[in-house]
Amino acid sequence: MSTGSNSSKPVAKAPTFSGGTPGTSWSLPKQPSRNCTVPTRCAGSIGWHWTDNLKTEIDFGGGTDSRVFRTQPVTIAGRSTYQTTQSRFKRQTLGFSQQYQFFHNVWFHPHVAAGVNVTWVRQRDEPEQIYFYDPATGTSRIEPRQAGTEQKSVTANPFVAIGYKAYLSDRAFFRNDLRLAFRGGIDETTLRIGLGFDF
pLDDT of amino acid 139: 77
What torsion, rounded to 10 degrees, do the Cα atoms 148, 153, 157, 161 define? 50
CB 141 within 8 Å of CB 148:
no
Cut 0.75: pTM above it = no
Cβ-in-10-Å burial (0-12, 13-18, 19+) of 34 comes to: exposed
Which one of 1.20.120.530, 1.10.580.10, 2.40.160.20, 3.30.300.10 gives the CATH number of domain 18-198? 2.40.160.20
Highest mean pLDDT (candidates 6-15, 62-71, 188-197): 188-197
Give residue limits of the domains in the chain.
18-198
Nearest to 57 by CA among 103, 13, 21: 21
pLDDT top residue among 36 and 90: 90
Q: pLDDT at position 190, please?
A: 86
